[in-house]
Amino acid sequence: MSSPSPTYLDTHLALEQIGDTDAMNGMLAMLQESLTRDIPLVAQLLGNGQIVEANRVLHALKGFVPIFCVESLCAHVVQVEAQSKDSQSTTIGAAYAALKPELEGLLEEVNAHLQQVDSGV
Amino acid sequence: MDIKRARVLVVEDEKIMSTFIMGNLRRLGILDLFAVENGAVALREVPTIKPDLILTDVHMQPMGGIEFVRKLRASAHSQLANIPVIFLSADSSASTVGEALPLGVAGYLVKPPNLTALNTKIELALNPPAAPKAR
């Protein structure tokens, strides 16, 4: 049975921008590491009212998601990152709560892609 | 100058972005590459590396790209003070671009830069059009 098409990860776009499959897979492993660390980190920082620190993480994310992701997710990251520059913690907390499941979905798709690579599929 | 012969320094604190930029520079045939993680390290390393071109992020800790380039431009060594710089940032706000442009930069690219834009900016930075002669 084939796996469903990814919703957030766009490997054709990533390959076009990065240039070769090995380099792309290497960068997807970095993305996996970053998302695993940063998705809960942003929630934690926002929970502590550390909005400037949360913005710093979201800003980095905004820079590299367009390498790997569909436009709708990139646009959502841009929107939440902009809100984190000057919002109250409750507003940005709600905005990030809406983005977080999408980032988690992206991480699941990256995990699935890398598992396929590891198994030689 | 042939861009393939250029020595380029990349100043970027985000590992994914640094890898992406370095990979794209290699795709353009630029192989003499150095990377450091923030403006403070770059400022320390530039006199040793002597790059022909610097590509720098804006927002970094403890020293960002704007402060780094400001200090570079104030260097007593004119060869270092005049190294062409291209900013690369996810921040395209008017205030940040407005801070960067007066520093005599050769370009400002929004991340992630595409290969064509990167190539064009690097060509222009290394081979600027001659200024018109004063009459």
**Residue A67 domain boundaries:** 19-111
ipTM of the prediction? 0.91
Question: Residue A100 belongs to a domain with what CATH number?
Answer: 1.20.120
Give the total number of structural domains in chain A: 1
**Residues of chain B neighbouring A25 (CB-CB closer than 8 A):** none
Q: Is residue A27 part of a domain?
A: yes
Task: Summarize pLDDT for A56-114 with one digit per residue, the tens.
Answer: 999 999 999 999 999 999 999 999 999 998 777 778 999 999 999 999 999 999 999 99
Phi and psi based region of residue B50 (left: phi greater than 0; alpha: psi -120 to 50; beta: remaining)? left
What strands, in cross-sheet order, belong to the sheet with B107-110? B32-36, B7-11, B53-56, B85-89, B107-110
- Model confidence pTM above 0.95: no
| pLDDT confidence of residue B94 | 86
Average pLDDT value over all residues in chain A: 93
Q: Is residue A118 part of a domain?
A: no
pLDDT tens series, chain B, 135 aa: 999 999 999 999 999 999 999 999 999 999 999 999 999 999 999 999 999 999 999 999 999 999 999 999 999 898 899 999 999 998 888 888 888 888 889 999 999 999 999 999 999 999 988 777 766
Cβ <8 Å between B114 and A30: no
User: In this structure, what DSSP letter does residue B102 have?
Assistant: G
Asked if residue A4 has pLDDT above 70, the reply is no
State the smallest CA–CA distance between residue B114 and chain A in angstroms.
7
Cβ <8 Å between B111 and A23: no
| pLDDT confidence of residue A48 | 93
Whole-Å CA distances, A118 to A11, A24, A25, A112: 16, 14, 10, 10
Q: Which amino acid is at B86?
A: I
Give the DSSP H/E element, type plus range, for residue A41.
helix A21-47
What chain B holds in terms of domains, given with CATH numbers, is 3-126 (3.40.50.2300)
Contact B47, B80 (CB under 8 A): yes
Q: Is residue A64 part of a domain?
A: yes
| pLDDT confidence of residue B93 | 84
**Residues of chain B neighbouring A28 (CB-CB closer than 8 A):** none
Instruction: Write the residue in B24, B90, B114 that is nearest to A62 by C-beta.
Output: B90
